[in-house]
Each structure stands twice: as structure tokens, then as C-alpha cells.
Structure 1
């Protein structure tokens, strides 16, 4: 990686230092603490210096001693060394159109090449190529547009919107029928939203808006197909849904602990109370804390008592502090991130908002089970 460089005003490189990617020291990252990334920095000093001499960039010093193990045989995994040639792309396209799964297609290429190490790309590259090719084949969504037009003709209350990219290709879709729009007028106080349901063959996630009626039954309040799960996409989807519902935002919304969703909700629904799904958070306990020596001997139950049994915010704060001190978890990044966002998931901070008896996205998941009989990839 380029560690430092300097250019003249007219663009010519004056000097440059190319160093090992593991050079430098680890820096504590405080952004997005809920998803800490393992560092590869070892303060490695290996580097090459080059300077401009008589108009020519010349190597001046080379220090080629690394302080960590090297794996030259893994160089083919570097992104700069991976490529899929046109003949392989054509074969992947043909296999995909014929309904042959990616695993079988890739294994055939491995056999033809004589082993994994003979291929200049990995299976993920092939999957990424096919995903992109499918989006191109998806085109402008003509069949879907025709279906929406027929539904609109049958019922004036049917609402749909299609988001296209700069080349006119379909990116995102939203629709809601008249029943969903009428139901929202009476039962739109609390909405759950998630995207964990199946992803179709074009790489688009299914995203239903779900509420609950006065009989405790789940009701569908609109649905979307989205091509990515970033803030921009969620802003489009939420904004489209809001227009469909005549600009009336829900009073409360429940989602999983997704950063892009949180950002989009703050933009589109600034006055809506946002809650993280408590079940999704608590089920991560074994994954995040099972390595602790006392996980099964009190730690897990102590954290659950802290979360579920605190009746006031002060009681939770004291209980949390005792929990952290008792089990010496001051350096646990996951718990730090949870504590910083405690108002989004700890019940005691959410008790003054009406949630229609919900604290999880289970409504969305039960609605997903309903779609299993009608929808597939």
C-alpha cells in the first residue's frame, strides 16, 4: 500500500513510499462499534522508497524484512490478481440461464482448469459477476410494470412505485394494495420492518411493512423488493411508503440492529420512536460472550436480570455498572456499543411508548411464514 507520497504542482510524483499493508499501529475505531473488524496491523517496517532523480523516479532504499509470516501462494486471492475472462463469463451466463447452480458451475470450471489453484478467481467473484448479469437481464421490469398496471386498473387504491438507475434498469420496487392502505389508517401506530426473508434470483431482498390489528393479528402494510441494503435505498423505500400512506408516519417502528435502517429512519421518520428487536440482541449472547469463563455460571443470567428486571433507568444504570465491574467487561466492544444505544432496546427506556405488545420483529417473521405458501425466489 502507498504509505506516503508527494506530487509537484503539475502532477509529477516527487517521492513515494510503498509499504507493507500491515505497517503502522492499530488504532481504536469508535465508529460502528457493533461491528468491530479484526485488525491486521503489526507495525511492519517493510517498505520501498523511490524519489524523482533527473526526471526519473528511482528506487532509493529497500527494506524487505517483515515482522509477520508471509504466504506468497495466497497472492492469487488479492483483488488485483483476480479476473474472469470473457470465455468463462459466457459459460457462467449459459449455465445460469439453464438453471445450473453456481456451486456446480464453479466446480466444473475447477475440474476443467485442473484444480482451485489454477483458477485466477474464486467462487465469490463468479457469484458477483452473475449477480450483476442478472440485474442487467432484469432490465426495466416490463412484466412487473404490466402487472402493477393491471392491479391499478382493477382497484384505484392500489399503489406502486419503481426505482430505476441511470441506465433505466430496475433497482427497487414498492407496492401496497387498498386493504393495506385502509388498515394503516386504523392500525398504523406501530410498524415492524425487516429484510431477513428470502432473496430472489436477481439479488433483491423482500422487505414487508407489518403491523398488528385489534385482534392481535399480523397485517401487511406494504412491501418492497430492494437491490441493496444501504441508507440510500432504505430512504427511498421509507419515503415511498410514507407517500403511499398520505404522509402519515408511524408513531413507533421496530427493526433489527441495522445501521443503514437507523440512519434512514432518522431522515424519513424523525419523530418516530425507533426500537431495536430485543430478541435479535439477546440471542447474540452466546456468540459474543460464551468465551468468558463465567458465561454459564452467572454472567448470562446476570445480564438478563439487568435488562428485563430493571424498573427505572437509574436501576438499570446501577445494575449495568455492577454487571460490568463484577465480570470485568470494561473492554468488551460489543457491550460498549449496546450501552451507547441503550435507549433503543432496553425495555425500561421504552415503556412510555405504545408498542402494541411488541418488542421484536416477530410480526414480520410470522408474515414471512405466510408468504412461504405463495412466494419463492
Structure 2
């Protein structure tokens, strides 16, 4: 089916359900109000009293110049397009041209079948309005301007660029569509909720059609994916599949599933787990939540998969409850996440015995996002001190550096106390290293998984296709594990010199119990042990009283 035929079928699908006449009536009322408001405008000289635009006007930078042109066009009552931009070899803007949105003439690029397309006139009618600006010695100047128009001027509520629906409006439209409201009611509700915004009825109706189309497609796609997983559950004992449905129409808000082999992996290696979400992996804008463990070959293994519609505390609780239900209540000893507030609250209530550690990479990104603008040229020095504070080996040393950080950077104190100070045990090295963590400090292992999956999927992928790609990734893991087991049956050769000379007895013992990958790590530490730089620790007696878990 071609694109035009698809548009017609979509329109016919909803024309029987919606009162199209009501939408047309609302559109006529909207346009008549616009005409009345525009007829009450004064001449253009009075309208431009605040946002004037004349030849030889100067501006300090391009942002101010562009903003002035936009404000001028809104006051007069027409839309603009950015037609030309010239830069020098250093990438600096030297010249810019703005034209009326009705400028130039429309030229068809292909021959269209009259019966297959709707009749619609182009807005490009050769309007001569144009303004040229140039930059000389850091000063932006209006070099020339033509103020003539060959079409009527309207109020700014009729300018196409100002009729875009905001994310808040789209969220309300999606909610009203999900609860079954008709187009006329949705348009009226938006006009009531957003009285200061430009609500274009036909734009709202287009959004309604898109949400309803996605809703119908998603129901079919979700049903197919769920049926497939349930079929696997029947064919192979041990599968765990859970769907989360909400609303009177039982629309899907979450999927969670674990293979029998994944449950077995969790039972073996649940000591350290990592969880993280990613987006842009399906056409419904749902998040993919992956849970990873580290096996005895020091490899990342995917043990649980969930697809959810949001990142709230309740959703995270549902994921963790599914994980416990699938594994007979076997909670992780240590769990690394990106320090999301919803996840922190969910772990606190659902996994009270689990040590929750924060991803150090996400913490650094949050510091940069929230403090770089406040600290400006002091930010680099702040990060150096924060790294020293975070990497302190003793609690006393950490507390001393933490209070010094708050004192030396008062601009950052409020954020640090709110975002990090409430639970320093989740990110400070002196606390995180009290528990076995397999050397993990971030969620990078999950990020690597997400990158692999994103190579095969995108924003147009269905849930069924996403599930196939995840299963393929897990099949690769199992294949590699079988290969590793075959390779590990071959005899290993110990490292010479240092190990045989100083750690011969210890090496003989650990070879009986460790896999080659873990053994290699231990051998590396043995070699490095002779290269350590000795540092004297003052007041070390209290360290003997620490309980290591």
C-alpha cells in the first residue's frame, strides 16, 4: 500500500468513529476567531513599536538578532523561514537571510495522481519580504530589509511555526485517547487546560489519529509477543513471563521475562547485579530494562529483561517484584543502578537487605549537568577534589574531604547535600568496598549490552522484533559459554618467575578452584604486589573493628 492510500485508509478508519463534522466546526470557529482578532490589529508601524526591525539595526550576537526577527514577525502576523547561512573557515556565522514563509514559488518534484491526493494550495506564493544580516567585527547588522507582503497578515495564533503541540499537550491527548474520549471533547479540554496556547483543532485531530493507530498496532503486537512467550513457557518448563496491564481497556504497560537458563544463572551469580534502562528501541517509546550478573568467567550475563512504559517508583518495584517471584525470593547482595530517585525508593522498599551502589559514571554526568554552569571556571578543580573525596579509603578521611568540599564550593553545597549527601554509602569507596562487588563501579556492562541491541533495533521496531533480537543475543552468550568450557579443559600454564618463586603454594591451591579468567586476575595481582608503593596509615586500629560482609 502506498503512503497516500495508507493516509486515506487511516482517515476512513476513524471517520466512522469520530464526529468529523464537530472537528470541522471547531476548525471554522477557530479560523473565524482568528479573522476577527486580526481585523482588530492596527497598522504595521504601531504593531512593531516594541519589536521593530529597520535597516542598520545592530545586535550583540546572532541569538539576539534571530530573536528580534522572530518577535517582529509574530507582532506583524507572518511566519519566517531561515533561508541562508554563510560561515567563514573557522565556522563563525558571517551572513544570514530570513524570508517570509510565503516566499518563493512552489515547483512540483513529481507528477501526482489527482485521484490519489487531496487538493491543497501551496503557501509559497512569492512573497518578497526578506531581511539580510551580516557580522562585521563582532557586531550583527541589518544590511537590507524588504517589508512588502503580497498576502494578508494574520495574528500570531495563525502562524504555522507557533501551532506545534507541546509535549505536555501530547501527553494529555494520549491520556484522553486511552480513556476513550472523542476528538471534539479532547480539543475542547485542551483549549480549557491551555488557555494561553495556540490550539489548532486539525493539528490535535492528527495527533489523535496517530495515537489511536499506535494503540491498535500495539495491541496486536503485544498480543503476538505475549503469545509467543507463553508458548515457550508451555514447551519448556521453568520460563517466567509476566505482563502488566492497566486501565479498563487492559493496555500494556510492562513485560517481564526470564528463561530457565537465566534463572539458573541468577541462582549461581546473584551476588552482584547491575540494572539499567535504555530508550529508542521500539516504536512505542517503551524503555528496555536489562539486569546483568557476572559469571565465573568474569563475563556479563543477561538474566532478566523487561519492557516498561515509564521509569517511576511503581514500575521499578514491579520489575524487582517479578525478579523475586521468578527466583523464589532470591535477592541480590549488591545491586548497581544509575542512582535514579525512583529506583532508589523501589530498592529501599522491595530489597531492604540488598546493598545499593550507584554508577560512578552517571554520578559524574549528573555533576556536570547540574554544577558546571554554577561553578564555571572552578568546575575542573571541584571535580579533582570530588574524585579524591570519593576515592578515600577510610571513613574519617572521606568525611574530612566531604565537609571540605561543601565548604570550598558553596555554590554546589545544596545540590551535593540533596543528591549525594543523603546516602554516601552508595557511592563513596570506603563504603562500597566493604561488600564483594566483583570490581564493578558503574553500569557500563549494561550499557555495552544496550549498544549491541541498539545496533539491530531502532525507534520503529515492534515488541516482537525486539524480543527476537534479545533472544539472539542470549543465544550468542550460551554458545560462547559452551566454547569456553571446551577451551578450559585444556591445561593452563602458570606465569613464571614471581608466581613460582614467591606464591608457589598459594598458586597450587587456587588452581584447583578458580576458572582460568579469575585465575589470570589473581596472577596479575600477585605480579603487581611486588610493585606497590607503601603508604603509612595513621590511626589504623579502628579498621580492625570493621565488619566485612
Q: What's the TM-score once normalised by structure 2's chain length?
A: 0.45
Compute the displacement of 1:123 (Å): 6.2
Compute the displacement of 1:285 (Å): 3.4
2:229 is matched with: 148
> Structure 2 regions of 5+ residues with no counterpart?
1-70, 76-119, 125-156, 175-206, 462-549
Cα distance in structure 2, aligned partners of 1:245 and 1:164: 22
1:198/1:205 contact within 8 Å kept: yes
Question: Which is worse superposed, 338-347 or 219-228?
Answer: 338-347
Compute the displacement of 1:115 (Å): 2.5
1:288/1:334 contact within 8 Å kept: no
Distance 1:337 1:145, change over 3 A: closer
Which structure shows the higher helix fraction? 2
Cα distance in structure 1, aligned partners of 2:452 and 2:396: 42
Which of the residues 286, 290, 304 maps onto 2:387? Answer: 304
Q: Secondary structure at the match of 1:283?
A: helix
How far does the alpha carbon of each residue in 1:3-48 deviate from its partner, in whole angstroms, 9 at most, with x for none? Answer: xxxxxxxxxxxxxxxxxxxxxxxxxxxxxxxxxxxxxxxxxxxxxx
How far does the alpha carbon of each residue in 1:338-377 deviate from its partner, in whole angstroms, 9 at most, with x for none? Answer: 1222111111111111111101111111111232354443
Distance 1:353 1:144, change over 3 A: same
Compute the displacement of 1:213 (Å): 0.8
Which of the residues 398, 403, 415 maps onto 1:316? Answer: 398
Compute the displacement of 1:144 (Å): 1.2
Compute the displacement of 1:257 (Å): 1.6
Compute the displacement of 1:135 (Å): 4.0
Equivalent residues in 2 for 1:292-371, closer than 5 Å: 292=375, 294-295=377-378, 298-308=381-391, 310-329=392-411, 331-371=413-453
Distance 1:314 1:123, change over 3 A: closer
2:244 maps to 1:200:
no
2:309 maps to 1:265:
no
Question: Which is worse superposed, 132-141 or 239-248?
Answer: 132-141
Question: Which is worse superposed, 280-289 or 292-301?
Answer: 292-301
How far does the alpha carbon of each residue in 1:45-84 deviate from its partner, in whole angstroms, 9 at most, with x for none? Answer: xxxxxxxxxxxxxxxxxxxxxxxxxx9x99xxxxxxxxxx
Which of the residues 198, 205, 219 maps onto 1:139? Answer: 219
2:334 maps to 1:252:
yes
Cα distance in structure 2, aligned partners of 1:143 and 1:334: 47
1:209/1:222 contact within 8 Å kept: yes
Cα distance in structure 2, aligned partners of 1:197 and 1:342: 29
1:289 is matched with: 371
Equivalent residues in 2 for 1:45-194, closer than 5 Å: 115-116=159-160, 119=163, 121-122=165-166, 125-126=169-170, 129=174, 132-133=211-212, 134-135=214-215, 137-139=217-219, 141-166=222-247, 167-194=249-276
Question: Which is worse superposed, 215-224 or 322-331?
Answer: 322-331
Q: Work out the number of aligned pairs and report it.
A: 271
Compute the displacement of 1:187 (Å): 0.8
How far does the alpha carbon of each residue in 1:199-219 deviate from its partner, in whole angstroms, 9 at most, with x for none? Answer: 421121110111111111110
Q: Secondary structure at the match of 2:303?
A: strand
Cα distance in structure 2, aligned partners of 1:322 and 1:331: 11
1:209/1:364 contact within 8 Å kept: yes
Cα distance in structure 1, aligned partners of 2:279 and 2:250: 27
Q: Secondary structure at the match of 1:301?
A: helix
Distance 1:118 1:259, change over 3 A: closer
Q: Secondary structure at the match of 2:324?
A: helix
RCO greater where, 1 or 2, for CA within 8 Å and sep 6 or more? 1
Compute the displacement of 1:286 (Å): 3.2
2:274/2:336 contact within 8 Å kept: yes
Cα distance in structure 2, aligned partners of 1:352 and 1:240: 28
Q: What's the TM-score once normalised by structure 1's chain length?
A: 0.64
| CA-atom RMSD in angstroms | 3.0
Compute the displacement of 1:188 (Å): 1.0
Compute the displacement of 1:225 (Å): 0.5
Cα distance in structure 1, aligned partners of 2:443 and 2:309: 21
Q: Secondary structure at the match of 1:207?
A: strand
Distance 1:323 1:216, change over 3 A: same
1:172/1:226 contact within 8 Å kept: yes
How far does the alpha carbon of each residue in 1:306-354 deviate from its partner, in whole angstroms, 9 at most, with x for none? Answer: 112x111111111122233234447432454312221111111111111
Q: Secondary structure at the match of 2:232?
A: helix
Larger CA Rg, structure 1 vs 2: 2
2:282/2:457 contact within 8 Å kept: no
